[in-house]
């Protein structure tokens, strides 16, 4: 890859993406206010107010849609800068067909973003319906779930058919499993799982974007080590945009990702793990996301089997909030745990 030239370029791309996003984010927030693309109150208009709404309706009025800005900035910068990277002394290398790999990365990044944007649009500008607890906004769970599986199926099939990816490496025990055609449903499951895990985690100011930034730094190292130039440069641009966004997303947040960002980023993080062949490392590096969706699954099973909740509130970060932990405290400790998991995941990816 031309490591001596690549590292300065990657660091430069992080800074450049950060500067461009920093310049655009305040006007973008003002634009969201202007079109009233802001979070709505979800508590029922009368009767008992659910605990979730008591904790979160204070955030009503905050603009939603930061994911759209990040997707646009990263996509446009990549389209402009990647073609000229070779002129900057970088040897473009990848183990895959370049066009197919770029298609998979940006099809995931953009298609899941569009699905989330549709959901955000209906949430912000559509009429609410009565939910199980409080008011329900946006697409139904079934609609989103089906759409996610369709998109994930397309991505997984292209990876299997066009890139020839069909193995699962298990570190420590040193085994590599050839999944064959079963790689398609397996990869689709990974993508859908991380899509929803990220979306569930994106419930506190700075929580999910901060954890994602930690994950991307780890995978930036893995991608560079595997000599995957396009993926490495994509991650560098993504990190830079996230840093700028995170400045305005930390407590108290001035802007939220919205489903446009949450669905896109969760799915794309999964694809990054699949392309690098580091699926086990992905589960470890993204361990907080896994914990969040697992806690929600346990809560659902508790209601269905025991007819009572296991946690005070799910996902797990809501439980900490409900028992009195301050929001920044929860986020900072999650970030610290994420750093430790990223180090552990990097170790797994190197053995």
Tens-of-pLDDT digits for all 351 residues of the chain?
Answer: 444 467 888 899 999 999 999 999 999 999 999 998 887 766 555 555 555 555 555 677 789 999 999 999 999 999 999 988 777 777 788 889 999 999 999 999 999 999 999 999 888 776 655 544 444 556 788 899 999 999 999 999 999 999 999 989 888 777 888 999 999 999 999 999 999 999 999 989 999 999 999 999 999 999 988 889 999 999 999 999 999 999 999 999 999 999 999 999 999 999 999 999 999 999 999 999 999 999 999 998 998 888 888 888 889 998 998 888 999 999 999 999 999 999 999 998 887
d(C-alpha 110, C-alpha 261), whole Å = 10
Evaluate whether 257 touches 37 at the Cβ level (below 8 Å).
no
List of E strands, the chain: 129-130, 135-136, 167-170, 175-178
What DSSP string runs through 325-342?
--HHHHHHHHHHHHHHHH
Report whether 259 belongs to an annotated binding site: yes
Q: pTM score, two decimals? A: 0.92
Evaluate whether 115 touches 144 at the Cβ level (below 8 Å).
yes
d(C-alpha 35, C-alpha 29), whole Å = 10
d(C-alpha 304, C-alpha 334), whole Å = 29
Evaluate whether 163 touches 226 at the Cβ level (below 8 Å).
no
d(C-alpha 64, C-alpha 138), whole Å = 13
Please, what is the angle between helix 327-349 and helix 207-225, to 10°? 10
The answer, yes or no, to whether the previous bond of 206 is cis (omega within 30 of 0) is no
Evaluate whether 237 touches 13 at the Cβ level (below 8 Å).
yes
Report whether 57 belongs to an annotated binding site: no
List of E strands, 70-166: 129-130, 135-136
What's the maximum distance between 2 C-alpha atoms anywhere in the chain? 65
């Amino acid at each position: 890859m031309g490591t001596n030239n690549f590292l300065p370029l990657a660091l430069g791309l992080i800074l450049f993406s950060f500067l461009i996003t920093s310049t655009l984010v305040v006007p973008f927030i003002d634009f969201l206010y202007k079109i009233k693309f802001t979070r709505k109150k979800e508590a029922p208009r009368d009767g008992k107010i659910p605990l979730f709404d008591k904790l979160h309706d204070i955030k009503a009025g905050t603009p939603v849609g930061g994911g759209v800005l990040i997707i646009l900035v990263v996509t446009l910068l990549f389209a402009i800068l990647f073609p000229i990277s070779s002129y900057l002394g970088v040897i473009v290398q990848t183990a895959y067909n370049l066009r197919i790999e770029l298609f998979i990365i940006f099809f995931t990044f953009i298609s899941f973003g569009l699905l989330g944007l549709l959901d955000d649009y209906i949430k912000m500008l559509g009429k609410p319906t009565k939910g199980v607890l409080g008011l329900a906004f946006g697409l139904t769970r079934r609609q989103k779930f089906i759409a996610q599986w369709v998109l994930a199926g397309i991505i997984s099939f292209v990876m299997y058919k066009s890139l020839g990816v069909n193995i699962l490496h298990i570190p420590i025990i040193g085994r590599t499993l050839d999944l064959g055609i079963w790689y398609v449903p397996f990869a689709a499951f990974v993508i859908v799982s991380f899509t929803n895990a990220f979306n569930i985690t994106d419930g506190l100011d700075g929580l999910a974007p901060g954890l994602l930034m930690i994950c991307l730094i780890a995978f930036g190292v893995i991608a560079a080590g595997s000599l995957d130039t396009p993926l490495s440069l994509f991650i560098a641009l993504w990190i830079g945009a996230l840093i700028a966004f995170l400045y305005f997303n930390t407590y108290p947040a001035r802007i939220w990702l919205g489903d446009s960002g949450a669905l896109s980023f969760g799915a794309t993080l999964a694809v990054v793990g699949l392309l690098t062949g580091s699926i086990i490392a992905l589960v470890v590096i993204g361990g907080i996301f896994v914990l969040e969706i697992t806690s929600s699954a346990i809560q659902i099973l508790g209601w269905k089997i025991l007819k009572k909740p296991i946690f005070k509130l799910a996902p797990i970060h809501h439980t900490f909030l409900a028992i009195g932990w301050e929001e920044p405290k929860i986020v900072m400790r999650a970030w610290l745990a994420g750093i430790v998991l990223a180090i552990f995941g990097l170790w797994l990816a190197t053995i």
